Amino acid sequence: MHILVTNDDGVQAPGLLALAQAMRQIGKVTIFAPDRNWSASGHVKTMDRPLRVHEVTLADGSPALATDGAPSDSVALALLGVVKEKIDLVVSGINPHENIGHDVTYSGTVTAAMEAVIGGLPGIAVSLHSPEDFHGALDYSTAAQVARRVAEKVLAEGLPERVLLNVNVPYLKENELKGFLVTRQGLRLYRDALDARKDPRGKPYYWIGGEFPIGVDEEGTDYGALKAGYVSITPLQLDLTARQAMEGMKKWEW
Amino acid sequence: MHILVTNDDGVQAPGLLALAQAMRQIGKVTIFAPDRNWSASGHVKTMDRPLRVHEVTLADGSPALATDGAPSDSVALALLGVVKEKIDLVVSGINPHENIGHDVTYSGTVTAAMEAVIGGLPGIAVSLHSPEDFHGALDYSTAAQVARRVAEKVLAEGLPERVLLNVNVPYLKENELKGFLVTRQGLRLYRDALDARKDPRGKPYYWIGGEFPIGVDEEGTDYGALKAGYVSITPLQLDLTARQAMEGMKKWEW
């Protein structure tokens, strides 16, 4: 098995290294990730400029490829042939914060897995539900082992066509996990606020500020599972059609 | 009615001006768009740098706001208070190319409308199915009038919660249109290819090249409607859960 590992926090992020080390337990790993942080940068296809690819070395000595493109560009470049050897699976992460609810279209971690699916491969995004107020070095060991177990299952069972997995892991020791739940995407409540400031020359500029978003703690959802101590596994599709809205709209008269 | 008009091609794009002029037929318009092209840049929330907002003047003398943020940032900034007056509807476009199938998560035009929905407002994305090989000034007049009619319907009928409309318009005269169809998102076939080159110093760089993507011409889909001469209106949701995949996965043993 040949597994492509990427992320949206940049190639030197500790979550990527933890993920790559766990994936090496089940196959050959190629690391190909952005050279900087692309959090909340969405699903990108860079077409207005060429992309560079550099060889870099990670903290444990692993070789890796880094690009000045987005996470989804990393996956696209790899699948288009920058990585010569056939790839079987794309795993993205480990993101230091959860990706739940409406986060999924913003998230570079998740959109990298979307790009895998568009390229015809199974894609898995892995994120850690770390405490909001945490400072210091996060412990990625539980999430890395969860990622390994999910990847093994995906390789053994397969995924339906055009489906990716969005995996979120509670910040617990492995033996403290309640288990694994297949969930639906829940609701995310953003608490963004405008932070208007003046620069040293008196001209205005704006931060999108506010508080960290919260989730709606509902049974059966991604956030509900995390809050109850379970790993949340949400199958996602790229067909966004709101089918329940179609009938009503078909009655509109033009 | 107060309508926010934005796009992903940049505030000076002719498609935006055509859209703003059409929207002025039904309400007050505020134009707030990126200061440059953000095509295929996805759903962005800029949090690692502050954003600037400048007043600019469009080709017909209209005042507009331009930001160095993404299309979705424009909508977020407007809704967070940079635009003081209450907004009733967000319309994004007119994109010079269709946004169908898997395009929807890449598209700045569509993700701007997603941002409206996340902010609690109805959102409409409008794109023109112009000929692939077209050169010169596109005629946006049909698409602009279609956008006006769709916006009027949305304001009159309302949209279900958390649903946006992805509208694609054939490149036809208004009287040549076959009508309006409510469609599902179809399949997009990308034909990207790696274009590896050497810079003047002999170092490699990569373009994501290849041919313009095609769609699968299937009845009931966005692309099927366009090909048959109909306006395609696809309701989209932000819940990406692949419900049909959940049952099978629930049998996985951990």
Per-chain mean pLDDT for chain A = 96
CA distance B218 to B49: 43
pLDDT of residue A134: 86
Tell me the chain B residues in contact with residue A72 when contact means C-beta distances shorter than 8 Å.
42
pLDDT of residue A38: 93
Domain extent listing, chain A? 2-188+217-239
pLDDT of residue A244: 95
Report phi then psi at A99, rounded to 5.
Answer: -120, 95
State which residue of chain B sits closest to A81, comparing Cα positions: B194
What average pLDDT does the segment A170-199 reach?
A: 97
pLDDT of residue B132: 87
Share of chain A above pLDDT 70, in %: 100
pLDDT of residue B80: 97
State which residue of chain A sits closest to B80, comparing Cα positions: A194
Where residue A250 falls among pLDDT bands split at 50, 70, 90? very high
Instruction: Give the DSSP letter of residue B125.
Output: E
pLDDT of residue B155: 96
Q: Is the pLDDT of residue A68 over 90?
A: yes
Q: Is the pLDDT of residue A135 over 90?
A: no
Tell me the chain A residues in contact with residue B193 when contact means C-beta distances shorter than 8 Å.
80
A10-44: per-residue pLDDT in tens? Answer: 999 999 999 999 999 999 999 999 999 999 899 99
Contact B238, A105 (CB under 8 A): yes
Where residue A101 falls among pLDDT bands split at 50, 70, 90? very high
Tell how far CA B67 is from the center of its chain: 17
| pLDDT one digit per residue (tens) for chain B, 254 residues | 999 999 999 999 999 999 999 999 999 999 999 999 999 899 999 999 999 999 999 999 999 999 999 999 999 999 999 999 999 999 999 999 999 999 999 999 999 999 999 999 999 999 999 998 888 899 999 999 999 999 999 999 999 999 999 999 999 999 999 999 999 999 999 999 999 999 999 999 999 999 999 999 999 999 999 999 999 999 999 999 999 999 999 999 98
Architecture of domain A2-188+217-239: 3-Layer(aba) Sandwich (3.40)
Interface test with B, best of A49, A239, A250 (most B CBs within 10 A): A239
- Closest partner CB to A105 (pick from B51, B204, B238): B238
- Closest partner CB to A160 (pick from B50, B105, B245): B245
Closest CA to A117 of A149, A158, A69: A158
Architecture of domain B2-187+217-239: 3-Layer(aba) Sandwich (3.40)
Chain-chain contact of A106 with B43 (C-beta, under 8 angstroms): yes
User: Given CA atoms A80, A82, A84, A89 in this order, what sign does their dihedral have?
Assistant: negative
Q: How many CB atoms lie within 10 A of CB B74?
A: 34
Chain-chain contact of A245 with B235 (C-beta, under 8 angstroms): yes
Tokens coding B135: 């050169």
Distance from CA of B58 to the nearest CA of A (A): 22
Where residue A132 falls among pLDDT bands split at 50, 70, 90? confident
The SS3 assignment for B76 reads helix
Helix or strand holding residue B91 (H, E)? strand B89-95
Tell me the chain B residues in contact with residue A248 when contact means C-beta distances shorter than 8 Å.
157, 160
A219-241: per-residue pLDDT in tens? Answer: 999 999 999 999 999 999 999 99
Distance from CA of A59 to the nearest CA of B (A): 25
Contacts of A20 (CB under 8 A, 6+ apart): A5, A29, A31, A58, A62, A64
With 0-12 / 13-18 / 19 or more C-beta atoms within 10 angstroms meaning exposed / middle / buried, residue B176 is exposed
Alpha carbon of B221 to those of A53, A114, B91, B188: distances in Å?
38, 21, 22, 11
